[in-house]
Amino acid sequence: MSDLKFKRVLLKLSGEALMGDQAFGIDRAIVDKFAAEIGTLVDAGAELALVIGGGNIFRGVSVAAKGGNRVVGDHMGMLATVMNGLAMGEALSARGIETVVMSAIAMPEICETFTQRAALDHMNAGRVVIFVAGTGNPYFTTDSGAALRAAEMQCDALLKATQVDGIYSADPKTNPDAERFDRITHSEVIERGLAVMDTAAFAVTRENAIPIIVFSLHDETSMLDVLRGAGRYTLVSAKAE
């Protein structure tokens, strides 16, 4: 019998997490490391979806910041997430983990086109589903895309892997007096302007009563721990606990 507190989850990784010590691109060793950790979740009985950002390859907002077309920049960023998703999908498949990559923008020669019904069928069949190309729309981050897909997949929780072990009142790397939260509500995060995810992502998860678990991607056991309700993380929920 499964001992998981959260069984169906969506894991959100930043694109930068795939760089390792590189300044740009994808470090295959890091991708393989994440694939191994994801494999432990699958072996434990988790039903898993995945969203990866594209910041290790391209950030759409950088185009607008330099006076370019934001829509074109965001489309370029979406393509970066496709590359990351394909890399992770290949690493998972190499481990014998059934995986499907689904894109919000149709590119049938490369991956499946997202529909909620097909994605649910894949998850119900035990496959890991990797969602790429964000929501398919500009002006939305991959955090927002992750929140949307978590709602559509009826997930028990959204896991957000970060550089630190939870949500703080300020950056703990620059402010040693920053307060760490073990528990906090979606509304409090929005009111305080805590920037671990964008406001739209918190709003979507709040409206759909999906808890967010923020944990450190550097703790190799934390993914499985948090699914069991253990380990060190911040839980964002609809009501304070």
Tens-digit pLDDT profile for residues 3-12 = 899 999 999 9
Number of neighbours of residue 27 by Cβ within 10 angstroms = 16
Task: List, for residues 76-110, the tens digit of each pLDDT value.
Answer: 999 999 999 999 999 999 999 999 999 999 999 99
pLDDT for res 145 = 97
Determine the pLDDT at residue 2: 66
| Lowest-confidence segment of 42-46, 167-171, 190-194, 236-240 by average pLDDT | 236-240
Per-residue confidence band for 1, with pLDDT thresholds at 50, 70 and 90:
very low
- Tell me the CATH number for domain 8-237: 3.40.1160.10
The encoded tokens of residue 212 equal 């967010």
pTM, 2 dp: 0.94
How far is it, in rounded angstroms, from Cα 102 to Cα 18? 19
The pLDDT value given to residue 178: 94
Per-domain residue ranges of the chain: 8-237
Q: What pLDDT score was predicted for residue 220? A: 60
Do residues 35 and 97 make contact, with C-beta atoms less than 8 angstroms apart? yes
Mean pLDDT score across all residues of the chain: 93
Written as six digits, the tokens of 109 are: 């020669």
CA dist 233 and 222 (Å) reads 8
What pLDDT is recorded for position 135? 96
